[in-house]
């Protein structure tokens, strides 16, 4: 398993070793010990989620406010997405910057999106099944977002505008400069 820090060091790309033969393939999709050794702390994942979306869907940018912030470990079971993490930690050296990584069932890459980051993805294949681990339970009261098309963030979702499909909620998120943000001193883990 190869772990690589992105331009925003807290966001990590994980590439499993793929063992293939004429029967198919095998991967270790999660190794707590290797992730802990790399990060220097343990993420207490408590829930696995899965979504299916068709081409053109954009989900995001979402995050939860303290005390319900979430770390996500995202992977694609079928299809291809562009996965995006935006640093929303006030005072962070990378505040307002984002990382975009293509995740697919072919490349088997995963993206670790820590607490203090907004998360979203666009579907680049006919359909995509996305699975992700979280370290906190969903809280509707603490769930907020940022406009996917915020001019300041300038995210290229790799989709034509006329093919973008969003929920009413995602179409009505506030711009980045009006969003509720997270303190840079947010404790990740003890």
Provide the annotated active-site residues.
62, 132
Number of H helices, E strands in the chain: 2, 15
Alpha helix positions (H), 48-123: none
Give the Cα separation of 43 and 19 in Å (integer).
26
Give the dihedral sign, CA 88/153/64/53.
Answer: negative
Q: What angle do CA 107, 48, 9 make, to 5 degrees?
A: 55
């Amino acid at each position: 398993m190869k772990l690589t820090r992105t331009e925003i060091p807290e966001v990590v790309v994980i590439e499993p070793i793929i063992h293939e033969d004429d029967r198919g393939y095998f991967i270790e999709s999660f190794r707590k010990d290797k992730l802990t050794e790399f990060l220097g702390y343990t993420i207490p994942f408590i829930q696995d989620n899965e979504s299916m979306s068709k081409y053109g869907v954009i989900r995001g940018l979402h995050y939860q406010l303290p005390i319900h912030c979430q770390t996500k470990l995202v992977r694609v079971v079928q299809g291809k997405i562009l996965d995006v993490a935006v640093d929303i930690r006030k005072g962070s050296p990378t505040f307002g910057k984002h990382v975009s990584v293509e995740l697919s069932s072919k490349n088997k890459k995963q993206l670790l999106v820590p607490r203090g980051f907004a998360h979203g993805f666009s579907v680049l294949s006919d359909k995509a099944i996305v699975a992700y681990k979280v370290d906190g339970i969903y809280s509707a009261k603490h769930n907020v977002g940022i406009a996917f098309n915020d001019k300041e963030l300038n995210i290229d979702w790799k989709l034509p505008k006329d093919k973008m499909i969003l929920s009413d909620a995602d179409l009505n998120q506030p711009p980045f400069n009006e969003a509720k943000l997270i303190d840079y001193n947010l404790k990740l883990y003890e």
